[in-house]
Structure 1
Amino acid sequence: MASASVVDIEELALLIEAGLDPGRALAAATSLAAAHLGLAGTGRIVPGARADLLLVEGDPLDDLAALERVLLVTRDGLVHG
């Protein structure tokens, strides 16, 4: 399974170092970025939204390296491997 880019994790780490809590840093990379770009139904897990999901081993709020341990990827509700 493909893993998150090291650059992406490094960017999240820099956001946290700059003062964002981990949840806000992850939101900045997902739902907040999608909202800023006007991508309705993207970046959030809610009914009616696109089913683009990344399932990882561990809790990225406690350990950003969990984003490197990808277990499952879905796009538009279909599992990709």
Structure 2
Amino acid sequence: MPIAKQNLTKAIKADVKIAFGTDTPIIPHGKNAIEFAALIDCGMSTKEAIKTATTNSAEMLGLTDRGELKEGMLADIIAVDTNPIKDISTLEHVKFVMKNGTVYKNEK
């Protein structure tokens, strides 16, 4: 097992709070969602993996006005075809992003 995976597995088992983010060239720019599967592969639950990109990241950056979808919070949202809790790979295929009320679609 590569050392990075060993260290991540140990951190997850020790309940270390992890923020989503990749180091290129390990995961190329634009392919960040691959990290979700890597987190799960190292022992993190699907819900906890999603939190690394939402609540955990906001908290660790001191951004108290974002990280959750609730009234009074700033949020960008994404749309996917299936439930990411059941299939995390769906986050690799975002249909659209809504930012500041404007919808941006990937027309590929």
Query: Do the structures match in fold with TM over 0.5?
Result: yes
Q: 2:76 matched to 1:52?
A: yes
- Residues in 1 aligned to 2:102 and 2:72: alpha-carbon distance in whole angstroms: 15
Greater share of residues in strand: 1
Count of paired positions: 76
- 1:48 partner letter: G
The gaps in structure 1 that reach 5 residues or longer are none
From 51, 64, 68, give the equivalent of 2:92.
Answer: 68
Output aligned runs, 1:1-81, within 5 Å.
5-6=30-31, 8-81=32-105
- Cα distance, 1:68 vs. partner? 2.5
Overall identity of the aligned pairs, in %: 33
RMSD over equivalenced CA pairs, Å: 1.5
**For the pair shown, which has the larger CA radius of gyration, 1 or 2?**
2
Using a 3 Å threshold, how does the CA distance of structure 1 residues 68 and 76 change in structure 2: closer, same or farther?
Answer: same
Give the TM-score, by structure 2 length. 0.62
Greater share of residues in helix: 1
Give the TM-score, by structure 1 length. 0.79
- Residues in 2 aligned to 1:51 and 1:28: alpha-carbon distance in whole angstroms: 15
